Amino acid sequence: MWNQCEDFDIVADITKKRLEWIGHLVRMDHGRVVTKISDSKPEGRRRLGRPRSRWLEDAAKDLCEMQVKRWRQNAVDREEWSSVINLLAPELFF
């Protein structure tokens, strides 16, 4: 069993799933609760210290590091986004 897991990179797999979820999130209807939550900005006062980063901001930073341009426009088209993910897959899985 451990031999099967040796070549598996969990970080790359999580990154790929995150990219797939971002595409799904962008294509979702804007009336759904998930999109309302992801697009919302919390109101009120924050605690002292560094502001917590949001999941979408972290994902956008990852895409910027991978040099993916116009990712929101690409994610709207499912086939285009799938091809972007498949092009990045060799980089993700070293």
pLDDT digits (tens, 9 = 90+) for 37-50: 877 777 888 778 88
Q: How many CB atoms lie under 10 A from the CB of residue 57?
A: 11
> What is the mean predicted confidence (pLDDT) over 30-34?
86
pLDDT digits (tens, 9 = 90+) for 7-17: 667 877 888 88
User: Can you give the residue ranges of every domain in the chain?
Assistant: 8-30+52-94
Are 92 and 26 a contacting pair, CB within 8 Å?
no
Task: Tell if the pTM clears 0.85, that is, is over it.
Answer: no
